[in-house]
Structure 1
């Protein structure tokens, strides 16, 4: 009897739902259906939160009989899942934030809708088969090719220096102090900020190493260089020093996001001023490009704004 009481208790359903979410996360990450094993899938972003929201309701008649509990208890499962994912280092703050929007929206809505149909039922054995749904949907999803789309984000700023004074500082970015570079929300949740970049030549290519906080270093090859007017970089991630964190693993090491070109365009203005435009071209390949680009666009734009403003502050004080 005691075992049955634990099994049907509200809190057992919450715990089981959170552990189920972790199990699906590990399954998606280690599946062999796709070489890159990206977690940016419909199975993980849409189907999994639906099931997590259902589990406490399926397990407990007490929850089904309470509209308030049927709405709020699934949220407890989601928050517990977040904690477990963070503690086990399966996800970091940025990853959980990206997951947060679809998970929280889906969880409450589905819980209320399904509770309406299950409220008077004592047994819901048939619904337990939903726990196996990711085993079916993930291989089907991965058998369908991802859609690749090109995107571009640009930002420009006027610096009170001539192109001749500005250009060398774009090739080799000077060390940006905390006063120069104003950190924002994305830095608070763990995205590194640029520190400086150094120029090198291996006899074949000119390249620079861009140093960021938290030990991140990007290897950037100069592919075009028109002095005082234009310079283009391509990032070689195979020669870069990445962090051992979920964000770098999913975004930089995965195949669904790829940098194409990063370039600066300088336009001389009157009064020894220069308009500096920083542009980033990238490709997203997934089945959720709209949502992926929503985050990519805002993160890259925030980076461009803060970097150019930091450079402006650094150069104009000299």
Structure 2
């Protein structure tokens, strides 16, 4: 093995190995009060350190290239992705959500690594600071209490059908065949798809189970009801009832980080004779990076709701 090949393996292998070790370290359940995978430290700081290490360990000649500093740190990120998926340390859904952060963070880290390398400061000290920084920042971040954020996901669809027929499909969603499922985002993420949801009666206090594939069930109770006009309902998912293979542990609905609170249907008659069916829900995120997690949560909830609305529109217009 020539020195160039050996240097390349070290440049890529050390940051990748460091990422895997830190993932195992932060994933120890008994250390949840000090270190957490669902933290700014892990999701934002780690890829930056990966990028800085990759460039800092590279030979001075190739580091002169801006493209090298920006894109080469992506290699250990993708290797880290493959390893964590292969050993089931992370799920595919989680990676799809965090990959943009990791790639951007790695590129920023690459620029930082290039800057440090150009300054010719103490190499051992710089690498030590980079490697041990998450171990100091992680516990400090965990001392900061998370402030749960409540978000709203609003969707609507216009339907050419009588109000009674539309409302009947709102209150009684019979079994949805797989070919009618149009939830592109949730399907890509491997989320359960909706099967059926039927009220036991129409009025305040009514109950229904919104049943999804893979054992996911939303327990819904009506708190406000106006026939053919409005229905408000609470939504509850019990994490202990959801099979462990249904969702990534960090995305469990009703778990530590994500929960759906309630939903509302409203039916509005439009001047052109159509009806507009509104559907919105409130959900809660509980992380130290709600600014990013809330955006994903809203996108996912809108995809689920648009999927349901399209089914209800199709059935009302064709039924």
Q: Place the TM-score, normalised by the shorter chain, in its bin.
A: 0.7 to 0.9
| Correspondence 1:86-125 to 2 at 5 A | 86-119=85-118, 121=120, 124-125=123-124
Identify the match of residue 21 of structure 2 among 20, 23, 43. Answer: 23
| Correspondence 1:51-66 to 2 at 5 A | 51-61=49-59, 65=63
Check conservation: 1:155, 1:304, Cα contact below 8 A: yes
Check conservation: 2:183, 2:303, Cα contact below 8 A: no
Q: Report how many residues are paired.
A: 313
Check conservation: 2:152, 2:282, Cα contact below 8 A: yes
- The structure-2 alpha-carbon separation of the partners of 1:142 and 1:315, relative to structure 1 and needing over 3 Å to count, comes to same
CA distance, structure 1, for counterparts of residue 246 and residue 35 of structure 2: 13
- The structure-2 alpha-carbon separation of the partners of 1:7 and 1:258, relative to structure 1 and needing over 3 Å to count, comes to same
| Correspondence 1:225-304 to 2 at 5 A | 225-238=225-238, 241-245=241-245, 247-251=247-251, 252-269=253-270, 273-304=274-305
Q: Which moved more, 1:210-219 or 1:89-98?
A: 210-219
Q: Which residue of 2 aligns with 1:169?
A: 169
- The structure-2 alpha-carbon separation of the partners of 1:63 and 1:146, relative to structure 1 and needing over 3 Å to count, comes to farther
- The structure-2 alpha-carbon separation of the partners of 1:123 and 1:269, relative to structure 1 and needing over 3 Å to count, comes to closer
- Residues 189-215 of structure 1, C-alpha deviations (whole Å, 9 max, x = no match): 3233222124459xxx64322222344
Q: Which moved more, 1:98-107 or 1:29-38?
A: 29-38
Please, what is the CA RMSD of the aligned residues? 3.2
Structure 2 stretches lacking a partner, 5+ long: none
Q: Which moved more, 1:116-125 or 1:20-29?
A: 116-125
Check conservation: 1:193, 1:213, Cα contact below 8 A: yes
CA distance, structure 2, for counterparts of residue 31 and residue 240 of structure 1: 18
Q: Which residue of 2 aligns with 1:154?
A: 154
| Correspondence 1:190-229 to 2 at 5 A | 190-200=190-200, 206-229=206-229
**Residue 301 of structure 1: how far off its partner (Å):** 1.7
Q: With the length of structure 1 as denominator, give the TM-score of the two structures.
A: 0.84
**Residue 169 of structure 1: how far off its partner (Å):** 2.3
CA distance, structure 2, for counterparts of residue 21 and residue 246 of structure 1: 26
- The structure-2 alpha-carbon separation of the partners of 1:314 and 1:32, relative to structure 1 and needing over 3 Å to count, comes to same
CA distance, structure 1, for counterparts of residue 304 and residue 227 of structure 2: 24
Q: Which moved more, 1:132-141 or 1:273-282?
A: 273-282
- Residues 126-159 of structure 1, C-alpha deviations (whole Å, 9 max, x = no match): 1232212221111100101112332212112222
Check conservation: 2:217, 2:237, Cα contact below 8 A: no
Q: With the length of structure 2 as denominator, give the TM-score of the two structures.
A: 0.84
Q: Which residue of 1 aligns with 2:76?
A: 77
CA distance, structure 2, for counterparts of residue 240 and residue 268 of structure 1: 41
CA distance, structure 2, for counterparts of residue 312 and residue 31 of structure 1: 46
- Aligned residue for 1:167, secondary structure, equals helix
Q: Which moved more, 1:269-278 or 1:282-291?
A: 269-278
Check conservation: 1:18, 1:81, Cα contact below 8 A: yes
- Aligned residue for 1:147, secondary structure, equals coil
